[in-house]
């Protein structure tokens, strides 16, 4: 059996080199790849998505977004904010809708102008840590202008590729002339919950988790989160996490947009209520992992030695894409 498996692997490797080195049409490449994969045993963790429209199992490259979620987004209006609204409004809205989306869409003249997430708010806060930042600065002054607008017929692989390029798990979909919806963390988890694969939590490579300490200043924590585009930091020697939304919620709640706080960035992490990730067994499937995370306000789960986030799910779903 060992010799047979080695032979199959060599056949697969040689075949793939021939495909990549010759001018073969995409259709032929796809068919040859399927044939070679059957012999190599590499289909164990293949990702398949069942179309709600047809019931067929589709591969990533042939699956349209509307095949998987044709109804759910239409029933969930996009979370929007006006371009001339103040930052405190964005902060308040994000703290209330963070369990369904990780970004607000800034509108002007009924069309998306930019997006605002917790990172955009915290990035501006580093420059102006005062109450005036929340009450005098406008949404259009801090919004991120780097985003995509697509139709619901976008292919799933294209959607994931765009998210990688913008370094944001967020895309806007246009349903009609003046109707828009969003693909954010929740939709990624919905897609993962519909995915058919043998992939388990134990198959995920050990992610590098950044550490913080209780006596770290808020300024240092914010810089670690936004400058490195980190989803969450883990408290040293404990399984407790802090993420940008936790900071936003504290500002919008107890600190009343820094009304009586003159040294916010100098305070330390002890003022925050940290989150405990949900512990799961390592044999949980990808679909079960996504179902577990789907309705969590802070969607972080842990095995005995790994932290899993929505970004990890996106990386798994797009693992076969060649993204530059």
Per-residue pLDDT at 256: 95
Q: Which fold has domain 199-317?
A: CBS-domain (3.10.580)
Per-residue pLDDT at 44: 53
Q: State the average pLDDT over residues 65-85.
A: 76
Q: State the average pLDDT over residues 282-286.
A: 87
Q: Which residue has the higher pLDDT, 280 or 35?
A: 280
In whole angstroms, give the CA distance from residue 54 to residue 314. 24
In whole angstroms, give the CA distance from residue 94 to residue 222. 17
In whole angstroms, give the CA distance from residue 296 to residue 320. 28
Per-residue pLDDT at 53: 76
Predicted confidence (pLDDT) per residue in 208-227, tens digit: 789 999 999 999 999 999 98
- Strand ranges inside the chain, DSSP E: 48-50, 57-58, 80-82, 103-108, 111-117, 149-151, 171-176, 179-183, 195-196, 211-212, 233-235, 241-242, 278-279, 301-302, 307-308
Per-residue pLDDT at 323: 52
pLDDT at 129 over 50: yes
In whole angstroms, give the CA distance from residue 320 to residue 308. 19
Q: What are the Cα distances from residue 11, in Å, to 15, 31, 46, 214, 312?
A: 6, 16, 19, 55, 32
Query: pLDDT class for 284, splitting at 50, 70, 90?
Result: confident
Q: What are the Cα distances from residue 167, in Å, to 44, 126, 216, 228, 230?
A: 29, 21, 26, 11, 10
Per-residue pLDDT at 71: 57
Q: CATH 3.10.580.10 region(s) of the chain?
A: 80-195, 199-317
Contacts of 11 (CB under 8 A, 6+ apart): 36, 39, 40
Phi, psi of 242 (to 5 degrees): -130, 140
Query: pLDDT class for 77, splitting at 50, 70, 90?
Result: low
Contacts of 159 (CB under 8 A, 6+ apart): 65, 150, 171, 183
Query: pLDDT class for 305, splitting at 50, 70, 90?
Result: confident
Q: Which residue has the higher pLDDT, 64 or 220?
A: 220
Query: What architecture is the 80-195 domain classified under in CATH?
Result: Roll (3.10)
Q: Which residue has the higher pLDDT, 254 or 33?
A: 254
In whole angstroms, give the CA distance from residue 85 to residue 245. 20
Predicted confidence (pLDDT) per residue in 133-163, tens digit: 999 999 999 999 988 888 888 888 888 888 8
Per-residue pLDDT at 28: 44
Per-residue pLDDT at 291: 92
Q: State the average pLDDT over residues 177-187.
A: 85
**Structure-block tokens of residue 162:** 């765009």
- The model carries a pTM of 0.80
Question: Mean pLDDT, the chain, as a whole number?
Answer: 81
Percent of the chain with pLDDT over 70: 81
Pairing assessment for the beta strands 301-302 and 171-176 based on DSSP bridges: unpaired
Q: State the average pLDDT over residues 285-296.
A: 89
Per-residue pLDDT at 15: 44
Lowest mean per-residue pLDDT among 33-42, 87-96, 166-175, 195-204: 33-42
In whole angstroms, give the CA distance from residue 9 to residue 1. 12
């Amino acid at each position: 059996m060992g010799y047979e498996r080695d032979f199959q692997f060599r056949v697969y490797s040689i075949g793939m080199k021939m495909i990549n080195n010759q001018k073969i049409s995409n259709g032929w490449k796809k068919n040859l790849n399927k044939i070679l994969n059957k012999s190599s045993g590499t289909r164990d963790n293949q990702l398949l998505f069942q179309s709600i429209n047809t019931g067929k199992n589709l591969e990533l490259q042939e699956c349209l977004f509307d095949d998987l979620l044709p109804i759910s987004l239409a029933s969930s209006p996009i979370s929007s904010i006006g371009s001339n609204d103040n930052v405190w409004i964005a902060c308040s809205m994000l703290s209330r809708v963070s369990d369904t989306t990780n970004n607000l869409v800034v509108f002007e003249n009924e069309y998306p102008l930019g997006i605002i997430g917790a990172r955009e708010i915290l990035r501006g806060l580093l420059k102006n840590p005062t109450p005036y930042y929340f009450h005098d600065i406008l949404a259009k002054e801090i919004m991120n202008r780097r985003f995509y607008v697509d139709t619901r017929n976008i292919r799933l692989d294209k959607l994931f590729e765009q998210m990688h390029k913008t370094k944001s798990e967020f895309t806007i979909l246009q349903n009609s002339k003046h109707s828009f919806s969003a693909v954010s963390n929740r939709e990624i988890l919905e897609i993962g919950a519909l995915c058919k694969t043998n992939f388990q939590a134990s198959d995920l490579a050990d992610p590098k988790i950044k550490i913080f300490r209780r006596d770290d200043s808020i300024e240092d924590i914010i810089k670690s989160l936004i400058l490195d585009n980190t989803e969450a930091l883990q408290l040293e020697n404990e399984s407790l996490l802090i993420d940008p939304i936790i900071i936003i919620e504290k500002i919008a709640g107890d600190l009343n947009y820094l009304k009586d706080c003159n040294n916010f960035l100098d305070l330390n992490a002890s003022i925050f209520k940290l989150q405990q990730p949900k512990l799961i067994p390592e044999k949980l499937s990808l679909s079960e992992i996504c179902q577990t995370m789907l309705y969590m306000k802070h969607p972080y789960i842990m095995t005995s030695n790994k932290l899993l986030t929505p970004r990890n799910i996106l990386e798994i779903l797009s693992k076969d894409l060649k993204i530059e």
